[in-house]
Amino acid sequence: MSAFLAWIATLPALAQIPLVLLAFLVVIALLIFFIEIAPRSGRKYTIIRAAACVLIPTLIFLALGSVYWAAGAAAVFGGLFFILDYRSKQGAGYLFQLVGFMSPAIFLLAIGLIYPTIQTTIQAFMNSRGTRFVGLDNFIWIFTQDTGIRTVLNTVVWVLIVPTVSTIFGLAYAVFIDKSRGEKIFKVLVFMPMAISFVGASIIWRFVYAVRPAGQEQIGLLNQIVVWMGGQPVDWISNSPWNTFFLIVVLIWIQTGFAMVILSAAIKGVPAEQLEAAELDGTNAWQRFINVTVPGIRSSLVVVLTTISIASLKVFDIVRTMTAGANETSVIANEMYSQWQGFEVGRSAAFAVVLFIMVLPIVVYNARQIAKQREIR
Amino acid sequence: MISHNFRRALLPIATLGVASMVLTGCASGTSGTGGPGDAGEADGVVTIYGTIADTEAELLEESWADWEEANDIDIQYESSKEFEAQISIRAQGGNAPDIAIFPQPGLLADLASREYIQPAPEGVAANVAEYWSEDWAAYGTTGDTLYGAPLMASVKGFIWYSPSQFAEWGVEVPETWDELLALTQTIADETGTAPWCAGFGSDAATGWPGTDWVEDLVLREAGPDVYDQWVSHEIPFSDPAIVSAFDSVGDILLNPDYVNAGFGDVKSINSTPFGDPARALGDGTCALHHQASFFDGFIQDPKNGNATVGPDADIWAFVTPSAEAGGNAVTGGGEIVGAFSNDEDTIAVQEYLSSAEWANTRVALGGVISANNGLDPASASSPILQEAITILQDPDTTFRFDASDLMPGVVGAGSFWTGMVDWVNGKSTEEVLSTIDASWPSE
């Protein structure tokens, strides 16, 4: 893998892009092949499996130039395809199918999520060099000093404010533009920030907040407005505690579009009969909205809220780009990175575990909501 | 119908929400594997990574251009303002350059103690023994192993002023710290405005100019021995010696009558980019400014009003005075060159960079100095640099490296910087110091 990347790095920049894309597509194609095509029954698929048995070891031999690897691969794939072929002739059993279909996903989850989670948890209880266990020292360190507590509190503030405000704004906007002329254009306007990367958005907003001493020409939009109003320029992102709120604005700006699109679709799904019935009962628009529309889109509201909550829990790029955590604006993900960068692996992992524990209830709630949805269906 | 379709779409959306949990981060560990071993190959290309950027980087590449031709080695230099963050990530991720130019010996020590850096080759060790003082050699040494040679140097703690303004007010360059405070009061009385200007702003590194102030005061009030203990954390930040240094700095920087000339109140120090006081100095709104030798470039920058620098020019500088008259202690900075690879080409480049030949070539191109003893002071391009070389080569000078650069990265390039920012914002000295102490790496 690293040899492949090193080889790619020697090529001109423009040639690298298609190659990386191609490699990505090959991996995806392989996954799809194993999940979709390999387990099917029928002569055609038997032939495909037999060909793969020969081709894969050959390719491995050509790529690595080692007979042992090729032989190993041939044994593994040969065995795998033989079983698949044998089972597909008789109509595969449910359990076998389950394993066959799930194994790529389970394998990827194991190396990408389960193993790192276990490893990080172990590291959280070890010293910075990972040589001995130090018990709860890293956690004690987080919760006994100002900056650590402040970091956790800031993260909580993010999680409380961003989802609620984004959802309220998104919902209000979706309701107001519903069935209006030019609805599409209004939607695009609000949805556009979603397409900007967090770092890009942060740089845009840093310019908005930029400050120059009084009397000089302001380059920041917000301070220019303040000066036109006859005020003194304010340094928005360096005065605690308000600076955190000015950073939060950036994420709200990004997430409102997401909330608006989903909720707008959900509002369109509220049955017109119910709304009409409510109208005949003599309700006003507000009552209709609260008693008919909101219960009708409750499940989407939950999804939007939980998704944005998780996004704001792991916010990193915005804080990193705008303040790098200075002036008491740091959040857990940023502190995790800073500590890791300073070789404090234990403390960094402890922050990661705290973040994990904070995410857990939201994820569990989300999963249970999905299970409920299933029951309704 | 629509509702039914939408319900079906809900599941994937919700699943996405769950899947995003996957991204809630996982730290990766470092493993001690017993030295970096052999790394790199002699392929005629040596990659160098460092902080030196823009014009300085062009001059750096110019300085080794002839040598590259003669030795048939292609040196590929890459600079990044995020170097401090990126180098440890690249090292831990197995994607390190052949050579890195470290502005912080503390960061080099961090990496060396985790077995990422190659011990210095014999040729480099010989050059270090020949051309550098023991103090400087110690900055490239961790444990008992020399890991790299110094490259360039700068002298910190200059106080920039206007000789003609001083003559007008009838004041002299101060000999002691108390005289400096008296001088400040005199100027404040004469002009009715704040004499000092300061700027701590530097994006992600905001606060670093403040650490230079504190380091100067620790060295001048408590002496070099206490300074060394402070660097190695034998005494904590909350030690009375350090508290007293903070208080002395506060006599100037936290006094609303003394700062921030041309920029506003005390808090404006944090929001003023560190280069901006050059303009205030040039146009006379600011009488005194504390900054390292590199600042003459900013003062003479056409964007800042083209003031000239020299003993008889618009702006000149004196070294921050000690507590007692006749003090000769200065702080300074510099770079150490460490290598991640040990192939022949890399070693050849390292040896060349540690030679007097390279130092003279680079200094002759202007803008920088080196503490290399084989350097001819006449090579230096400007009065302030000649002054700085004279200070560095004077055997009576007590030289100490910038403390924050020697400390572990989480403090020296982290909590010490943010601590200075909080301190200017009005947090109590005691609170700031205990926070910095708490962030000191665990063992």
- pLDDT, one tens digit per residue, over A127-175 is 888 888 998 999 999 999 888 999 999 999 999 999 999 999 999 999 9
Tens-level pLDDT at each residue, chain B (443 residues): 444 444 444 444 444 333 333 333 333 333 333 456 777 777 889 999 998 888 888 889 999 999 999 999 999 999 987 788 888 888 888 889 999 999 989 889 888 988 899 999 999 999 999 998 888 899 999 888 999 999 999 899 999 999 999 999 989 999 999 999 999 999 999 999 999 999 998 877 789 999 999 999 999 999 999 999 999 999 999 999 999 999 999 999 999 999 988 888 898 898 888 988 998 998 889 999 999 988 888 888 888 878 888 888 899 999 999 988 888 889 999 999 999 998 899 999 999 999 999 998 998 887 788 888 888 888 887 888 888 988 888 888 888 999 999 998 889 888 899 899 989 988 899 999 999 999 898 76
Query: Nearest-CA residue of chain B relative to A264?
Result: B6
B22: distance to nearest CA of chain A, Å?
A: 6
Q: Tell me the residues of chain B between 348 and 407 that have a Cβ less than 8 Å away from chain A.
A: none
- Would the CB atoms of A303 and B10 count as touching at under 8 Å? yes
Find which of B439, B440, B443 to mutate to test the A interface (most A CBs within 10 Å of its CB).
B439
B443 lies within 8 A of chain A by CB? yes
Task: Give me the pLDDT at residue A214, please.
Answer: 76
Q: What is the pTM of this model?
A: 0.76
SS3 string of chain B?
CHHHHHHHHHHHHHHHHHHHHHHCCCCCCCCCCCCCCCCCCCCCEEEEEECCCHHHHHHHHHHHHHHHHHHCCEEEEEECCCHHHHHHHHHHCCCCCCEEEECCHHHHHHHHHCCCCCCCCHHHHHHHHHHCCHHHHHHCEECCEECEEEEEEEECCEEEECHHHHHHHCCCCCCEHHHHHHHHHHHHHHHCCCCECCCCECHHHCCHHHHHHHHHHHHHHHHHHHHHHHHCCCCCCCCHHHHHHHHHHHHHHCCCCCCCCCCCCCCHHHHCECCCHHHHHHCCCCCEEEECCCHHHHHCCHHHCCCCECCCCCEEEEECCECCCCCCEEEEEEEEEEECCCCHHHHHHHHHHCCHHHHHHHHHCCCCECCCCCCCHHHCCCHHHHHHHHHHHCCCCEEEECHHHHCCHHHHHHHHHHHHHHHHCCCCHHHHHHHHHHCCCCC
A103: distance to nearest CA of chain B, Å?
A: 17
Which residue among A326, A352, A359 places its CB closest to the CB of B27?
Answer: A352
Q: Which residues of A touch B431 (CB under 8 A)?
A: 146
